Amino acid sequence: MKRYDELNNKGKRNLEEFLTITFEFTDEQLAAIDYQIPMTQEIYDSILDRCMVLGSSVDNLFYRLLVEYPDFMTVYANRIEQEVEEKYSDIDFPESTPEELQAGWEALCARIRKEYGENAI
């Protein structure tokens, strides 16, 4: 087995992500991540919320969940949108043009494909 300082950058990132996931998520979240129990909307939301707190150290998990559970992702995104509208109802956010929305979607898809392969999405 290689020591940490003998790993390449990808190996170090993978090890760091594994340790972060292992110690930063609850037993229930880990069981759902590892397919030991069914993923529910409640668990999914809690995992994505935790991913947002942990940041880039769990990007692979975050993107995997977006791809694997598109229905849960839609509900999660709608909840966030509703929370923002309620919390900041006095602020006028500019509407995105269809072109801007499409460009954002394409950029997200490109990142997912780069990480998980051309057939990921």
* From 33-37, 51-55, 110-114, the region with the lowest mean pLDDT: 110-114
**Could you tell me the CA-to-CA distances from 17 to 13, 41, 77, 84, 116 in Å, in that order?**
6, 23, 24, 29, 16
- Answer with the residue of higher pLDDT: 54 or 113: 54
The pTM score is: 0.67
